[in-house]
Structure 1
């Protein structure tokens, strides 16, 4: 990987990051998982399309789907034969529980201590605004991007991108590209420049266990009746072994190790376990034996239980044994695992662990996501590494991201490599209370993206 070259960009004007505009956008409660807020998601899409159209983008449109709308923008290069960069992100946001927020209300943005608080400030409206500021800054300096820029900002990412495949097929010509950039990822820190080069995929599933026709009075049947909650816990306990490995047969057969550049970066990455625990709010680092936390996050697969339900949560248990218990599962995948194969393996695994007297139901939604790794020798990745190094003033290393993004889907649909750039940080509180974005991270992101637009054409020559 090419070393970062020094440049004047760090101290050069790149255009203002429109924090007031970002706060206005964050104030729109575009929660895609709440049917009652679909009009707000549409309002968010229109807000962004208007912002693009009022700025440098001669084409800015809201694309309707059978669900919630996406936004498309296009800024053609002066040269019709110039490379094409498609930027993907999303404008919908995760569900909120306002009672858990302490700094401000979820959709009442507030700037405090170098951060902008509000749902979507980091995931991912702030990332989209960083892109706009980079373009506007270049144009203000009289340096129009030498690539054709296309934006696809969808409105259903937080509910599994259920209509993304339809968008990609219906608008294939509009979305053709030489390089795709996914901007829905995290940095390592604002002090350590890094470029994401791999994302994990995901398979979600819901497992339901029923042990009786109705809830049972414990005093009448305790010790002799089936307990759905205990049975569910038994099954969940078999998902991993004592070493922290996922126990599905063949689960690790296709796991590929990191490439040499990512491997070298992992070996040199400064990792402070207490600081990481404090920043993420977790009490203990867990996972597969024999691997560091960054390796577990970015290069190893995992399984999690994201929700457990049994009995009544809205009233005292009243001595009842619940008839039904459920769990939502999330399997994180790495190259070269395939989501469809893992889903089939999960079904086969459960079939061999059923016990008589219980009913089991496993639902695996079709919105699975394959993992993706950027080819380490692709010039677009080298251009991005140089750009981030210029923005930060020191060489950038490679990292991964623990979450999923539709990178593999975009790569297949566009027949183009995918690179990643985001401005999120591990302590931004994605999907949690008091989500916030670091203003410094956003501004460094603007600089890096402006540099990337300068570096990319030469990188593809």
Structure 2
């Protein structure tokens, strides 16, 4: 797997425009959830249902093992997708999947509908190889519908359905590989803090001819403040920000140092131009083991009419901090508030709004046998030993670990060149095949008959 039927099923699901950030697409997100639940039931899941929230629905499914003492695996991912700008898509419309050159193009093909279906395909292979009506371990899915808008109701789901989500191991399947030729297992993910900063310098937009040179300019002041966020060495200037930041673990650093990294190829895959960031660290180290801050959006002045000659009264910026173990998102949010208080100037009003959907970083416990099982499974599927890497994006891993009282593993089939959140998103069909093979082997590795996997679970950090 996947064969033509499986690829066709993924293409059909990609055709459902489950954009969670667009209220006009709420019905499509619901259709996506129904599609997945129907598909899981059709594949044999005894239980697959929608879990409603105050927003958009998640899908929960459970296929119990025959042995009540068998390990329990909970797979987390999402079925909603990022917004699109249809005019930027050239090869195909974003919700009209196209198979070409060994890839499937379409929004959600890689992030994360293809990843979700890999788990189903692997489970079906596992069952076929066992010639059994039930898997060797209990398999549960939690596929939410609001990940692309910050998982705003995930905490409610975890609280309301704690019993249904009890597990020995959690696997987050919303992740990237490094390459198909260099097998790797993610063992650490960064957390995130998002915030909006607004600066106001006047009661209304003002004609520059009347006040230029003698009046405050919100856009200029916002740029001044943003420039102070990092110093010349690329370090973030929030007081206390690096107090909890430690150097990469020796084994991880050695793995990253030996990772084949060709800057021009990486830039071509990701569409970037410059190699920038904190001085003294390689690009892979900065991606996965060091914190960062990005300006995700800047707004100022008129966008619906010519702005020439006007001084904008207000300017805004959306900020995104990426955090590493052992930073805490709530502490960084407080550091940001204190930092801003130290840079306010008379003549301006400042407003900082920190999102409630902040997330903590997470590191998989290195000694847990399930992590070793995943390394073996990935190495078997790819034909070479799997090395440890990180993930630069944020996931609700820490939240899941606390709610389920279980360690979290990471495995996905995405690649840096898959153009997540951009036009012409795509998934490599070879990546889906290798991913299915790895996940099939992982289920076998966690077989309840294996003494090394029987309910052995040191708690997550």
Scaled by the length of structure 2, the TM-score of the pair is 0.96
Bigger mean CA offset, 435-444 vs 254-263: 254-263
Q: Please give the alpha-carbon distance, in whole angstroms, between the structure 2 residues aligned to 1:409 and 1:384.
A: 21
Matched, 1:77 2:65: yes
Three-state SS of the structure 2 residue aligned to 1:403 is: strand
Three-state SS of the structure 1 residue aligned to 2:237 is: coil
Report the counterpart of residue 253 of structure 1 in structure 2: 243
Q: Please give the alpha-carbon distance, in whole angstroms, between the structure 1 residues aligned to 2:338 and 2:154.
A: 29
Gaps of 5+ in 2: 455-461
Q: Please give the alpha-carbon distance, in whole angstroms, between the structure 1 residues aligned to 2:180 and 2:304.
A: 43
Report the counterpart of residue 49 of structure 1 in structure 2: 37
Q: Please give the alpha-carbon distance, in whole angstroms, between the structure 2 residues aligned to 1:38 and 1:65.
A: 13
Report the counterpart of residue 179 of structure 1 in structure 2: 169
Matched, 1:150 2:140: yes
Report the counterpart of residue 40 of structure 1 in structure 2: 28
Deviation at residue 235 of structure 1 after TM alignment: 0.2
Deviation at residue 450 of structure 1 after TM alignment: 0.2
Q: Please give the alpha-carbon distance, in whole angstroms, between the structure 2 residues aligned to 1:378 and 1:137.
A: 26
Contact 1:15 1:134 in 2 (8 A): no
Matched, 1:451 2:441: yes
Pick aligned residue for 2:15 from 9, 22, 27:
27
Q: Please give the alpha-carbon distance, in whole angstroms, between the structure 2 residues aligned to 1:272 and 1:64.
A: 45
Three-state SS of the structure 2 residue aligned to 1:224 is: coil
Q: Please give the alpha-carbon distance, in whole angstroms, between the structure 2 residues aligned to 1:356 and 1:341.
A: 27
- Large movers: runs of 4+ above 6 Å: 13-17
Report the counterpart of residue 377 of structure 2 in structure 1: 387
In the TM superposition, what are the counterparts of 1:265-414 in structure 2 within 5 Å?
Answer: 265-414=255-404
Contact 2:2 2:433 in 1 (8 A): no
Report the counterpart of residue 460 of structure 1 in structure 2: 453
Contact 1:375 1:417 in 2 (8 A): yes
Matched, 1:217 2:207: yes
Pick aligned residue for 1:125 from 82, 102, 113:
113
Q: Please give the alpha-carbon distance, in whole angstroms, between the structure 1 residues aligned to 2:103 and 2:10.
A: 12
Pick aligned residue for 2:432 from 426, 442, 450:
442
In the TM superposition, what are the counterparts of 1:75-114 in structure 2 within 5 Å?
Answer: 75-114=63-102
Q: Please give the alpha-carbon distance, in whole angstroms, between the structure 2 residues aligned to 1:448 and 1:198.
A: 19
Report the counterpart of residue 228 of structure 2 in structure 1: 238
Deviation at residue 267 of structure 1 after TM alignment: 2.1
Deviation at residue 143 of structure 1 after TM alignment: 4.9
Contact 2:126 2:444 in 1 (8 A): no
Q: 1:260 to 1:380 in 2, by over 3 A?
A: farther
Cα-Cα RMSD? 1.2
Q: Please give the alpha-carbon distance, in whole angstroms, between the structure 2 residues aligned to 1:416 and 1:143.
A: 30
Q: Please give the alpha-carbon distance, in whole angstroms, between the structure 1 residues aligned to 2:434 and 2:329.
A: 34
Deviation at residue 278 of structure 1 after TM alignment: 0.8
Deviation at residue 15 of structure 1 after TM alignment: 7.4
Q: Please give the alpha-carbon distance, in whole angstroms, between the structure 2 residues aligned to 1:129 and 1:286.
A: 36
Aligned pairs, how many? 449
Three-state SS of the structure 1 residue aligned to 2:417 is: coil
After superposition, the C-alpha distances for 1:328-350 in whole angstroms (9 at most, x for unaligned) are: 00000000000000000000000
Q: 1:433 to 1:15 in 2, by over 3 A?
A: closer
Q: Please give the alpha-carbon distance, in whole angstroms, between the structure 2 residues aligned to 1:138 and 1:377.
A: 26
After superposition, the C-alpha distances for 1:79-102 in whole angstroms (9 at most, x for unaligned) are: 111000000000000111111111
Scaled by the length of structure 1, the TM-score of the pair is 0.96
Contact 1:15 1:136 in 2 (8 A): no
